[in-house]
Every structure is written in structure tokens, then in C-alpha cells.
Structure 1
Amino acid sequence: MLDSNRLRRLEQMPLWDFALSFYSAPDVEGACLTLQDTLGIDVCELLFHGWLFVHGLEALSVPLAKQRKEREIWQREVTQVLRHLRRHLKPEAQQSASIDTLRKTIQQAELQAERENLQRWQTWAIENPDDEVRLTNCALISNDVERWLQDRLFFAELDKSCLHASGAREDISSAWQTLASRLDRFESPR
């Protein structure tokens, strides 16, 4: 049975506010980018699961899978296109003020695309027009946060092809540990 108090507290802390606060914690940005660039993890979804976790909630796998597909389309067709353009222009931006301005504009658009994606995750979690049960109480022991995060994102078994690169396994493990420890310490209403 879903705890209505947890859901109410979830509504009082917008996902965007959580994302800004959590992402700015020491080493979180680097950990998120490592997982994004090495494993293809959607940082917005990662932040979504962290937001639910600090409120003692988690998404149920079947409705989550449907929403994940919608969010993947957004990420692929909007956010990743902007990210690719921003990264592609980085060398030129160092040589040209006008390209640097363009790159900064693209960076702002990328941030807005991520904000929109997080808003859609939040709306999905809070609004339930079809009376579909989407969330449940999370009965997680804190020392299992790292494994829980990996399982939420279906990465319990890491892709072996990405781990052959020198140091990749350690970088990925360190990133998961960093995120888990920061979530454990996050000021939560649990």
C-alpha cells in the first residue's frame, strides 16, 4: 500500500529542485556523467529514481517501462541532439566568440530540454489519470542503495563490452558508490 504522506511530501519537493540540489553535491555531476558516457544511463531517469528514493518511494517496473520508452524518445530526439551539437562545437568555440555564444545558447536549450524531461517524469509519478498504480513504498536498507539504483536502471549486469576499456570498471563502480552515498546522506523526508 502506497503511503499517502510520502506522496504528499514528494509533491512538495519538485523533481527539478531535487535535481539541482543533488546534482550540485560533491562528485555527483562527475558520477552522473561517467554513467551517461560509459553506460548510456539517462541522467534524468537516474535523478528521478533518486528523487523517489529520498521520499521512500520507487516506481513499479511495468508502468515504468512504458514511461521509460516515452522519455527515451525525448532524450534521443531532443536532448541528445543538443548535447551532440554543444560538444561538437566546443573546439571551435575556443577560437570564435560567435561560436562560443552559439554553444552557450545550445547549452541553455539542452538544460531546458532536461528540465522538461524531468517535469514529465514528475507529472507521470504524481498524476494518475487512469488510476494506474505507478509507485510503491521503497523498503530499502540503506547499504543496498548502490545495487537498488543499478537495478532500477536495469544495469544489475553491467554491459561487459564497455568494461574492457582501461579503468572503466573502476570508474563505473566508483560512480555508483558516489551516487549511493550521496543519496544516503541527502536531507530526505523519509
Structure 2
Amino acid sequence: MDAGSANPLGGNPFWDFSLAVYGRPGVPACCLALQDGRGIDVNLLLFAAWAGMDCATALSAEALERVDSAVAAWRREVVQPLRAVRRRVKAEDEALYRRMKAVELEAERIQQDRLFAAGGLVPRPGGGPALAAANMALLVPGGDPALAALVQKLGG
């Protein structure tokens, strides 16, 4: 995810939130630690954070499962294979790596558009880091130092 990218379609406040949050120092490292170490989908993690921060919504495990099921096939069949190819070529061809990174980012934007549509949430006042933390904790049973660090970065 690149904080300098724009949503060419517009109209997805979740994507805008994700770009802003992912652009904060230390956030990518926390997210990638949870992705690589715990198998957490970063887009779903960011959706949980957005629901709490910007939509003042406490998610249930069932709600997260529902929105996750709306994107699971896309993640498995498109995003993850693109990520694997991008990582594979990183040390061998910088130009191809950059193109693969852009394609992977576009696939993640599509995934986030689908999460946004499936979630049916709209921004409203009253949310904050505590609600975001509770939502994200549903995805990381038992907690994780990377999640704790991410929560701190959301509050600041």
C-alpha cells in the first residue's frame, strides 16, 4: 500500500482511511508483521480499524467473517499470488518489481472496494482508537505485540 496513491474511482472513504493510516510511520511494519507472522489479512485489519475509528461501529466476529467471505476468493486467487510474484522478483528485477507492486496495490484497492460494499458502513462521529482496537482484536486472538504497536499508532 502506498500513501501517495489515489483511488481513481473515488467514493470509498475506507480506501482513503487506509492510505492515510498506512502512510503513518511504523504502520506498514506492524501490518506486515501481523500478515506474515499471524496470517492476518491487512485489508481486513484496516477495515476493522476503519469501522471503529471512522464509523463508530463495534464489529462482531460474525460481521467480520461475513465481510471477509465477500473477499476471500479474490484475496486467495488474485492478491496473494500477485504478492508472491512481487516478492519473488524484488531482488532480481527492480523495474518488474515496481510494476508488480502497482498491480498488487490495484488488486488490494479492488478488495477494499468489495469490503466497503459488503460492510455497508458509513463514516459517522463517535469512533476512536479504543473501538478500532476492540475490532482488530477479534482478528488477532491472544493479542500480538505488532497489534499493540498498531493500536498506539492509531491513537497518535
Instruction: Find the partner of 1:179 among 145, 150, 156.
Output: 150
Identity value in percent = 31
* CA displacement, residues 11-31 of structure 1 (integer Å, 9 cap, x when unaligned): x87111100100111211100
| AA in 2 matched with 1:110 | E
Instruction: Find the partner of 1:157 among 109, 127, 142.
Output: 142
Query: Which residue in 2 is equivalent to 1:3?
Result: none
| AA in 2 matched with 1:46 | L
CA RMSD across the alignment: 2.6
Query: Which residue in 2 is equivalent to 1:28?
Result: 27
In structure 2, do the counterparts of structure 1 residues 139 and 20 end up closer, same or farther at CA, with 3 Å as the change threshold? Answer: closer
Secondary structure of residue in 2 paired with 1:156:
coil
In structure 2, do the counterparts of structure 1 residues 52 and 90 end up closer, same or farther at CA, with 3 Å as the change threshold? Answer: same
In structure 2, do the counterparts of structure 1 residues 105 and 141 end up closer, same or farther at CA, with 3 Å as the change threshold? Answer: closer
In structure 2, do the counterparts of structure 1 residues 145 and 117 end up closer, same or farther at CA, with 3 Å as the change threshold? Answer: closer
* CA displacement, residues 145-185 of structure 1 (integer Å, 9 cap, x when unaligned): 6454222x1x2236xxxxxxxxxxxxx41x11121112223
In structure 2, distance between residues paired with 1:54 and 1:147: 11
Q: Which stretches in structure 1 are left out of the alignment for 5+ residues?
A: 1-11, 94-99, 128-137, 159-171, 186-190
| AA in 1 matched with 2:151 | A
**Aligned-pair CA distance for 1:70:** 2.9
Query: Which residue in 1 is equivalent to 2:91?
Result: 91
In structure 1, distance between residues paired with 2:114 and 2:134: 25
| AA in 1 matched with 2:87 | R
In structure 2, distance between residues paired with 1:141 and 1:179: 10
In structure 2, distance between residues paired with 1:106 and 1:50: 27
**Aligned-pair CA distance for 1:125:** 2.0
In structure 2, distance between residues paired with 1:107 and 1:141: 29
In structure 2, do the counterparts of structure 1 residues 24 and 139 end up closer, same or farther at CA, with 3 Å as the change threshold? Answer: closer
In structure 2, distance between residues paired with 1:116 and 1:109: 11
Is the 2:129–2:154 Cα contact (8 Å) retained in structure 1? no
In structure 2, do the counterparts of structure 1 residues 148 and 61 end up closer, same or farther at CA, with 3 Å as the change threshold? Answer: closer
Query: Which residue in 2 is equivalent to 1:133?
Result: none
Secondary structure of residue in 1 paired with 2:142:
coil
In structure 1, distance between residues paired with 2:129 and 2:64: 22
Which one has a bigger Cα radius of gyration?
Answer: 1
Is the 1:31–1:178 Cα contact (8 Å) retained in structure 2? yes
In structure 2, do the counterparts of structure 1 residues 141 and 69 end up closer, same or farther at CA, with 3 Å as the change threshold? Answer: closer
Does residue 125 (structure 1) correspond to residue 129 (structure 2)? The answer is no
Does residue 14 (structure 1) correspond to residue 9 (structure 2)? The answer is no
Is the 1:79–1:114 Cα contact (8 Å) retained in structure 2? yes
